[in-house]
Structure 1
Amino acid sequence: MKMSKFKKVISGTVSALMIASSIPTVASAADQQTRGNIGGFDYEMWNQNGQGQASMTPKAGSFTCSWSNIENFLARMGKNYDSQKKNYKAFGDITLNYDVEYTPKGNSYMCVYGWTRNPLMEYYIVEGWGDWRPPGNDGENKGTVTLNGNTYDIRKTMRYNQPSLDGTATFPQYWSVRKTSGSANNQTNYMKGTISVSKHFEAWEKAGLDMSGTLYEVSLNIEGYRSNGSANVKSISFGASPDTQTDTTVTTPADQGDNGGGMNFGGFGGDNGGGMNFGGFGGDNGGGMNFGGFGGDNG
C-alpha cells in the first residue's frame, strides 16, 4: 500500500476535527487506516479490507480499541522520530511506561513497535499475547536479555522483497519476546510496567544485530489476527522511570548451548503468509508492517 507522509495525512480539516474531538474511528472501507497526532502523540489504526468491526478512540497519551471478526487489525500510539534523522543513541535513554487493560480473545499481542531506516529494520518488544507466542518456533536465536524484571528471547527474522516504509525491500525484523506472557487469553489482563526501549536496542547490538540506522518510531501497539478483543490503554508516557531490576547482560546462543533456528518468517504465522502491508505512521513510500498473517490456524 502506498502512503503519503504522516504530516500530510493530518493536515486536512476532517483529520483535524477527528483529533480535536477524539471521535472513534470505525472500520468500514478496504484497508482502512486512520492516522493523527493528539497531544504530542502520534497514533494509527489499521484494519485490513475493513473486515469485521474495529475501532480506536485516541486521546492524548491513551486510547481504547476493539476488534471482532477481523483479518488483521492494529492500533498504536507513540512518538515518530523520523524527521530528526538520528540514531537512537542521540535521544538518550528512551523508556516507555504503560498502563493497559488488555483482553485478547484469540491471536493477538501487545508490544512496543517501530522501525529504523538506513538500514531499514522493523522491531518488536512483545509484552503479552493471546493464544500464540510470536514468532512461533521460527527465527534465528540471538540469546536472551533481562530487563525491567523480565527475561526476553532475542530473535532475528527476515522479510524478502516485501512492502516497507521505503517501498518493496528486503529487511530484518528484530524481536525481544518475554519468556512468560504478561497476559492470558480470554480474560482482561491488567498490565502496568516500564520498557527500557534503548536498553533493548543496546542488547540487540551486543547480540550482533545492526542498530546503526536512524530511529523512525517508538509506539505501544495492540494487534489482532482473525480474532476478537479489546484494550483500554489507560496511559502511555515516555521518560525515565525507576528501575531496580535491570540486567543488560546478554546471554548468547553459544552460552545457552542453543544453535538457534533458521527462519522464513511469513509474519506471525498465517496460513498463506498474507496480511499486513502497513505503512507505519506514514512513511514516504508506504508499505511498512508486513505480517504474513499474524498467526494462523497452525501458528
Structure 2
Amino acid sequence: MVAFSSVLLALSGAASVLASPINTTSNALNLITRATSPGTGTHDGFFYSFWTDGQGSVTYNNEAGGKYSVQWSNVNNFVAGKGWNPGQPRTMSYSGSWNAANVNSYIALYGWTRNPLVEYYIVESFGSYNPSSGAQKKGTVSSDGGVYDVFQTMRYNQPSIDGTSTFPQFWSVRQQKRVGGTINIATHFNAWQQNGLQLGQHNYQILATEGYQSSGSSSITVSAS
C-alpha cells in the first residue's frame, strides 16, 4: 500500500517495502497462517485492512473495539491495522506495544484519497530503516509534542486502491519516536496543503503496523478522541 505504501524502492532505490492495497487469495505457495484473512472490512465498530504479499508467516487478529494484534516471521511485506472509512481530519489516540524497533518495520497513521489518488503516512515510529530516506523534503510541522518532517515521493505504475497507478505519497515522519499518544490529523493535512501537497476525497484511514523482510509483533488499540 504505500507502504515499508510501509525500505521503499521509490525512496531509496532498494527493494520496495510499500504495501499493496490489493487483496490476495490463498494458493499452494502461500505460507501464511492467520486468524483474520487478508482483506478489508468492519469489526466491532471499526474499519480494518490487512494486506500481505503472501511470503513468510503473518497472523493478524481483530480484537475488541479498536484493538488489533499482529505477529509476523520472515515476511517480505505486510501492512495491517484498524481505523475508519472514510478517513477525515480527526483527532485520534492510540496505545499499545510494538516489538520491532530494531528491524524493518514501523507504526503509522496510513490512508488513501481519490481525485487525486494519494497514499499518505504519519509515521510515529520506525525501526532499522527511516522511510524518509531519499524522499523530497517539503518542510516540518510541530504537533502533539513533537516535530515531524514532511516529505513527498512518487510511485510509478504501482498497486493502489484503484489498481496499478501512478500516484504521490505524502509523509510526516516524527523525529521523536513514540508508540502511543494523540495524533491531530488535521495539523498534518494542513501542513501538507501549505507545502503544495493536495489530498482528495478520503478513502480508508488506519493506525497501521507494517513490516518488511523482518519478524516482530505488535498490539495496538485505536480510538477517536
TM exceeding 0.5? yes
Give the alignment partner of residue 135 of structure 1, picking from 132, 135, 145: 132
TM, length-normalised to structure 1: 0.61
Matched residue, 2:5 = none
Q: How big is the shift at 1:112?
A: 0.2
Q: How big is the shift at 1:218?
A: 1.6
Q: Letter of the aligned partner of 1:201 in structure 2?
A: F
Matched residue, 1:251 = none
- Secondary structure of 2:188 counterpart: helix
Runs (4 or more) in structure 1 with deviation over 6 Å come to none
Higher helix share: 1
Q: How big is the shift at 1:109?
A: 0.3
Q: How big is the shift at 1:195?
A: 0.5
Could you tell me how far apart the structure 2 residues matched to 1:228 and 1:2 are? 21
Query: Retained in 1: the 8 A contact 2:33–2:59?
Result: no
Q: How big is the shift at 1:123?
A: 0.1
Give the alignment partner of residue 55 of structure 1, picking from 59, 62, 66: 59
Matched residue, 1:237 = 223
> RMSD of the TM alignment (CA)?
2.1
Distance 1:3 1:192, change over 3 A: closer
TM, length-normalised to structure 2: 0.80
- Identity among equivalent positions (%) equals 42
Q: Letter of the aligned partner of 2:212 in structure 1?
A: Y
Could you tell me how far apart the structure 1 residues matched to 2:111 and 2:204 are? 5
Any idea what the Cα deviations from partners look like across 1:219-263, whole Å, max 9, x if unmatched? 100011110110011x21013xxxxxxxxxxxxxxxxxxxxxxxx
Question: How many residues are paired up?
Answer: 195
Matched residue, 2:70 = 65
Give the alignment partner of residue 140 of structure 2, picking from 144, 150, 159: 144
Matched residue, 1:203 = 191
Could you tell me how far apart the structure 2 residues matched to 1:99 and 1:44 are? 18
Q: How big is the shift at 1:129?
A: 1.1
Higher strand share: 2
- Secondary structure of 2:208 counterpart: strand
Matched residue, 2:110 = 113
Larger radius of gyration: 1
Could you tell me how far apart the structure 1 residues matched to 2:128 and 2:75 are? 16
Q: How big is the shift at 1:34?
A: 3.6
Runs of 5+ consecutive residues of structure 2 not aligned to the other structure: 1-19, 24-30
Q: How do 1:2-81 and structure 2 match up within 5 A?
A: 27-28=32-33, 33-49=38-54, 51-59=55-63, 60-81=65-86
Give the alignment partner of residue 193 of structure 1, picking from 181, 198, 207: 181
Any idea what the Cα deviations from partners look like across 1:30-71, whole Å, max 9, x if unmatched? xx724331122111222212x222111112210111101111
Could you tell me how far apart the structure 1 residues matched to 2:86 and 2:141 are? 25
Q: Letter of the aligned partner of 2:58 in structure 1?
A: A
Q: In the alignment, is residue 227 of structure 1 matched against residue 208 of structure 2?
A: no
Any idea what the Cα deviations from partners look like across 1:236-292, whole Å, max 9, x if unmatched? 1013xxxxxxxxxxxxxxxxxxxxxxxxxxxxxxxxxxxxxxxxxxxxxxxxxxxxx
Could you tell me how far apart the structure 1 residues matched to 2:150 and 2:130 are? 13
Could you tell me how far apart the structure 1 residues matched to 2:80 and 2:22 are? 17
Matched residue, 1:155 = 151
- Secondary structure of 1:227 counterpart: coil
